[in-house]
Structure formats: C-alpha cells, structure tokens
Amino acid sequence: MTEVMEPIKSIETDIKSIKRIFDLQIRNQYEVGKSTSGERRAKIDKFHKTFIKYRIEIKEALYRDFKKHPAEVDMTEIYPVTSEIKHAKSQISNWMRDRSIHTPIALIGSSSYIKYEPKGVVLIISPWNFPINLTFCPLISAIAAGNNVIIKPSELTPHASAIMRKIVEEVFEESEVAVIEGGVEVSTELLRLPFNHIFFTGSPSVGKIVMEAAAKNLTSVTLELGGKSPTIVDETANIEIAAKRIAQGKFANNGQICIAPDYVYVHESKKELFLSALNTFIGQFYGDDPSKESSYNRIVNKRHLLRLQGYISDAVSKGAKIITGVKADKEENYIAPTIITGADKSSDLMNNEIFGPILPVFAYNQLDEVVNEIRSGEKPLAMYIFSSNSKNIDYILNNTRAGGGCINHCAVHYYNTNLPFGGSNNSGIGKSHGIEGFKTFSNERGILKQNIPNALDLLVPPFNNFKQRLIDFTIKYL
C-alpha cells in the first residue's frame, strides 16, 4: 500500500520546485510536441499498463480516502480512464491528421488546412470526488495532443494523489508530466505561471479564481464546474425504472458527483408511487442500515458532513419533511440516504449544489412551471428527463439549457467518450472527452497554402478602375 508522502516542507520549497519543473517543461515542449502519433500512442500504452498494474493500490487508496467500495472504484475511476485510453489509442492518428478545409472561389489557386498543434505546457487542477478519473482522463487528452503537463490533484484525497504521483513518475520524466501535490497555496503559486492552457475541474467559485488568474497571462481555460442538476419525472415515465436509476445516480459516491441528480420534480399523480419506489431501491441497494453496507461510501470529511447536516436542519426549520434518512454518525462522516419533500426554495438545500446523499423531491402539475423554475436558476451541468412522451421531452429540451444530460437515465452520458462533456456558463466553459478533449489541448492552426498565382496578386496598389471593377465583381459574385 502506498503511504501518503510527506507534504512538501514549506511554500518557499514548493515555489522553487514548481518554477524548476515549469521551466524544464517550457524548454522541453517542442521536443514533446513534435512526437508522431505512434510515439504518443506508445506513451499512452505505457501509461495504460502502469495504471492497470496499480489497480489494487488505487482501490486501497480510495478506500482510505473515503471508504469508496472497490467495485465502485472500478466503475467510476478505473473504467472511465481505460475507456478514454482505448478511444485515444484508436483515434489518435485521425485526430492528429491535418484536416483539409474548403477554399472559397475568390482564393482560387490556394488550398487550406488545419494543423493540430499542442497548446504547450498545460496545468490540470483536479477535485477530490473522482480524483483518479478527473485527473487522468484530461491527462490522456493532453498527451494525445502532444502537451507537457503539470498536475495539481486535490489535497482532500491524499492517498489518491500519492498513487497518481507514483504512476506518473514511473511513466514520465518530470520534464514531460509532473504531479505537484498541495492545497490552495500551491494551486495559487501554479496559477501565477504563464501556462498555455489550464484545465480546471472543481466548484464554480474556485473556477472564477482560476479564470481571473488565467486572464493575467491570457491563458486559455477549460472549466469543468458543478451546480444543481435537475431531474424531471413526468406522468408517462416508467416510475420503477426512474426511481431505480435516480437512486443509483444519487447515492453512488455518496452523492458526491458533479452530475448527480440534485433534486427531482415528479408529476403530482406519481409522487407517492415514486417516493415508495425510491425507498424500496434504497433498501435493496444498501439494506436496512446503510452504515453497515460496504457499498455505501462516506462523506469526504467533517467539514462537508457538517455542511450537509446544516442543509437538512435549515430545510426542516423552513417546513421540509424528511421521508427517509436522518441517521448520521459524525465520527464516521456518515449520513444515511435522505429523501426530503417540501423544501422551501429559499433554503440552503435549494440554493447550493448538494453534493451529498440528500434528495429533495417536489411534485408538479404543469411542465411549464418546472421549466420556468429551472430557467430562473444557473445553467445546470446536467439535466435528466424520465418520460415516454416525445412531445414532453422535446418541450423540456427546447425550453431549457444545460451542459448535457440523459433521457431515461442519470449520469451515464459521462461514459460515452464520443459525447462532448462539460457545462455551460456557471457549470463550465469548454468540453472534454475523446476528440473534444484532444481539441481542448490543441491549437487549431489554420494554414492557407498558395499553389499558383491568384487574383489577389493583381490587386496591389496603385488601384485603378480596372482593379476596382475586379473588387466589385468579387464582392457581388464570389
């Protein structure tokens, strides 16, 4: 088992080593950037083998960090990384190939293409909730695009950070990829540097800090943020299936998922059926006492436990009713799966991303009320619609905005590496996964190659009537 390595001694030591590694990578970037698709595939392959070699240690690390069940680690940390790796390995030659672009008739005699060049030296800052997945998936895209990478994982999951550092150090020279552990101070120092791109995954509030720091160097950013992802269950939905999939999406990872269904609107006529089905599935998944079921994870730390307990008591003080749940254990960072109805819209529960195993459920009568409420909030990272009525589905999709989502499922869109993944405005800027991830870490260099003389060669000063007529013709017809 990997022991958590000594934290770096002081911020002064950190600053020196950050600067040293950054300078090394800046010097090495053209060497890394000119690699062929075969060479990049070989790097990803080496990373793949090392990653799999440490599969057991990754599971142990995540158990130590927040009692994450090994099967859930396989499903939500190992599989997303291996699927991103396999997809990149099979597509990298296509992605890297120069892309021929149509040339307008006015530019006859030339041809145009896009050359995908690496952004250069990039920074990946990752969160704690899926520490391996959300660090290594963007890393694969960055390597596929030919970048040098500095990774700053979360300080809240130190065992996961230590194993990631071990894997990276085994595969790469620090002049190509390096992991720098640490908290806000280290992150702040990194953000002062003129990286060529920053890929940040975390909360919207820290996303704003990252974007502000990036602006000082005109560094481009990808912000994978969070927020409240609404879920709608209409009167035509299969209630059993909806309840089962919502319970799975909400209580996996103890609800600490950026794309977890944050709260549910269910049609008034199906509310009781839905609540009872939710209860049944919670019982089936986690037994009568979820604190004794190893498949049920824990909250990452006491601060977050207290935050969630605060949400529950605030909602109850404003008239909400707890349908299932209540039990908590402060020593264990445990909160039972909790269903709440009647939460006031002014409560903390409804004004913050919940990021925990608490599910507020609301009944509705008219779909347009739901749509109006969703529109009044920030654009969510995901939205889920359970319905068998295509008119309802289209109505919701056409009248709301969200980063992504599913119809008749929850969170599973994340697994499709062919789909762009990311938010919109408050829930994020830019996309990741597959080709979108490759493009995120690339500059699309647009190049025009002049092959034979063209009309522009005639349009040089001094201008005269003939040249003006040629210009007029071009504006009118070409």
Interface with ligand NAD by CB under 6 A: which residues? Answer: 125-129, 134, 152, 154-155, 183-184, 187-188, 201-203, 206, 209, 224-226, 258, 353, 355, 381, 423, 428
Q: 29 or 76: whose CB is closer to ligand NAD?
A: 76
In DSSP terms, which residues pair with 222 in a beta bridge? 199
Q: 32 or 300: whose CB is closer to ligand NAD?
A: 300
- What is the smallest separation between the CB atom of 275 and ligand NAD, expressed in angstroms? 26
Q: 206 or 323: whose CB is closer to ligand NAD?
A: 206
Q: 96 or 132: whose CB is closer to ligand NAD?
A: 132
Q: Which of 84, 174, 189, 224 is catalytic?
A: 224
Q: Which of 240, 238, 202, 250 is nearest to 222 (CA)?
A: 202
- What is the smallest separation between the CB atom of 342 and ligand NAD, expressed in angstroms? 25
Helix count and strand count (H, E) for the chain: 17, 18
Q: Report the DSSP pairing between strands 263-267 and 177-179.
A: unpaired
User: What is the widest separation between alpha-carbon atoms in the chain?
Assistant: 90
- What is the smallest separation between the CB atom of 210 and ligand NAD, expressed in angstroms? 6
- What is the smallest separation between the CB atom of 15 and ligand NAD, expressed in angstroms? 15
Question: Is 258 annotated in the active site?
Answer: yes
Judge whether 35 and 143 are in contact, CB under 8 Å: no
Q: 28 or 203: whose CB is closer to ligand NAD?
A: 203
Which H or E run includes 324?
Answer: strand 321-324
CB-based contacts of 439, cutoff 8 Å, min separation 6: 116, 145
Judge whether 276 and 238 are in contact, CB under 8 Å: no
- What is the smallest separation between the CB atom of 115 and ligand NAD, expressed in angstroms? 29
Q: 10 or 388: whose CB is closer to ligand NAD?
A: 10
**Contacts of 71-77 spanning 24+ positions with Cβ under 8 A:** 71/295, 72/252, 72/253, 72/295, 72/297, 73/132, 76/130, 76/133, 76/252, 76/253, 77/130, 77/131, 77/132, 77/133
Q: Which of 158, 139, 209 is nearest to 8 (CA)?
A: 158
Using Cβ positions, the residue closest to ligand NAD within the complex turns out to be: 226
- What is the smallest separation between the CB atom of 188 and ligand NAD, expressed in angstroms? 5
Q: 76 or 347: whose CB is closer to ligand NAD?
A: 76
Q: Which of 77, 176, 189, 258 is catalytic?
A: 258
- What is the smallest separation between the CB atom of 157 and ligand NAD, expressed in angstroms? 9
Question: Is 224 annotated in the active site?
Answer: yes
- What is the smallest separation between the CB atom of 390 and ligand NAD, expressed in angstroms? 29
For 346: left if phi > 0, alpha if psi spans -120 to 50, otherwise beta; the answer is alpha
Tokens read off for 239 = 């209630």
Q: What angle do CA 420, 128, 292 make, to 5 degrees?
A: 110
**Coil/strand/helix, residue 93:** helix
Tokens read off for 416 = 């499709």
Rounded distance between C-alpha atoms, residue 363 and residue 370, angstroms: 10
Q: 64 or 467: whose CB is closer to ligand NAD?
A: 64
Judge whether 172 and 145 are in contact, CB under 8 Å: no
Q: 146 or 428: whose CB is closer to ligand NAD?
A: 428
Amino acid at 106: A
CB-based contacts of 17, cutoff 8 Å, min separation 6: 8, 180
Q: CA neighbours within 13 Å on the CB side: how many for 83?
A: 16
- What is the smallest separation between the CB atom of 166 and ligand NAD, expressed in angstroms? 18
Judge whether 255 and 231 are in contact, CB under 8 Å: no
Token pair 């436990």: residue: 305
Q: Could you list the active site residues?
A: 224, 258
